[in-house]
Amino acid sequence: MEFKAKEIAEILSGTVEGDPEVTVSTFARIENGKPGAVCFFANPKYEHYVYECNASIILVNNSFEPSQPVRATMVRVENAYSAVAQLLDYVTAKKRSYKRHRGMRSRYFFSTKFGKKVYVGDFAYVGRRTRVGDYTKIYENVYVGDDVTIGHNCILYPGVRIYPGMKIGNNVIIHANAVIGSDGFGFAPQDDGTYKKIEHNGIVIIEDDVEIGANTTIDKSQIESTIIRKGVKIDNLCQIAHNVEVGENTVMAAQTGIAGSSKIGKHCVIGGQVGIAGHLTVADNTSFSAQSGLISNIKTPGQAYMGTPAFALRDFLRSYAVFRQQGKK
C-alpha cells in the first residue's frame, strides 16, 4: 500500500515540510530508514538518525527544531509516537478482512502449497497462500494463518499458533501451544490518561535449526521484524517481545523475558527467569545466571553476569560474601 506525504499529513492532521508528492510503501525504524519507507522520531536520543537516515518521510513532533539539514520529507504532527500508532491503525484497517470459515477435520485452500510428504493432523488449519516445505509435520489443532512460509523438515506440535505473514525456516521445532506473531505490548498514552493500542504490522522471522519450547510467545514487530537467528534454542514459557533480535546459537532457559527492541548477541547463555529490559544490546558469548535482571548495555563479549541489577559474576560473588556477613550481624 503506497502513500504520498500529503496523504499521510491529511490522515494525521499534520503538515508537510519538504516534497508533498514523495511516496512510501513500508515502515521502518529510524535507525534503519531507507528510500520508500516512513519512520518516526519521538525519542531525543535518536535525533542523530534524523540527519543520517535515508527514509523518504519522517514523522516528527511540531516542536522539533532540527540542528542540521534533514534530507527526508518531514510530516509534522502533534505527537509523533501517537501519530505512527494512528497510521498503523489506518493501514491495518485497510488490509484487514473479516472472513469466517466453517471448521472441518483439517482445513486448507487451493492457494496453499505443500511440499513432499507433509503431514497435517486432524482439526489443523493452514491458511491461504501459505507455503509448507517437504517432510514438515503439522500436528492436530495447529493454526497457521494466511501468507505464512514454513520450511522443510519442521515440526509444529499440537496447539501451535502461527499468525498470518510469519516466516519459519528449515528444521524448526515448535512445541505445543507456542504462539508466533502475536501483537507486541505497545500502547500510546493519551492526554486523558487512557492508552491507545499501537497496531503491529511487522512479522516474526525464525531462521533455520531453531527450537522453541511449549507456551513460549514471540511477538511480531510494530514495523520490520522480530528475528530469531539460526540455531537458537528457547525453553518453555519464555517471552520475546516486539522488535527483538536473538543472535545465532543463543540458548535461553524457561521463564526468560526479553523486552522490546533489545538485541542479544551470538552464543549467549541465558539462565531461567532472566529479565532483560528494552532497547538494550548484549555482546556475543555473554552468560547470565538464573534470575538475573539486566538494565544496561553489555559491550564486552565473553563475560558472565549475575544478580539484579546484573553485574559481573566475579564481583557479584565478592559482594555476596559481604551480604552474608551483614546478614549475620
Per-residue cell: 192: 486523558
Domains of the chain and any CATH numbers: 3-95 (3.40.1390.10), 113-317 (2.160.10.10)
Q: Is the dihedral of CA 310, 315, 321, 322 positive or negative?
A: negative
> pTM here?
0.83
Write out pLDDT tens, residues 95-106.
654 444 444 467
Q: Are 82 and 50 in contact, with CB atoms under 8 Å apart?
A: no
How buried is 127 (Cβ within 10 angstroms: 0-12 exposed, 13-18 middle, 19+ buried)? buried
Summarize the confidence of residues 248-273 as an average pLDDT: 97
CA–CA distances in Å: residue 6 to residues 13, 15, 19, 65 = 10, 8, 8, 21
DSSP bridge pairs for 174: 156, 212
Mean pLDDT over the full length of the chain: 92
Active site members: 242
Residue 10 has pLDDT above 60, yes or no: yes
Residue 291 has pLDDT above 70, yes or no: yes
Residue 88 has pLDDT above 80, yes or no: yes
Write out pLDDT tens, residues 301-319.
999 999 889 888 777 777 7
Summarize the confidence of residues 246-253 as an average pLDDT: 98
Which residues touch 287 (CB under 8 Å, ≥6 apart)? 268, 269, 270, 271, 303, 304, 305
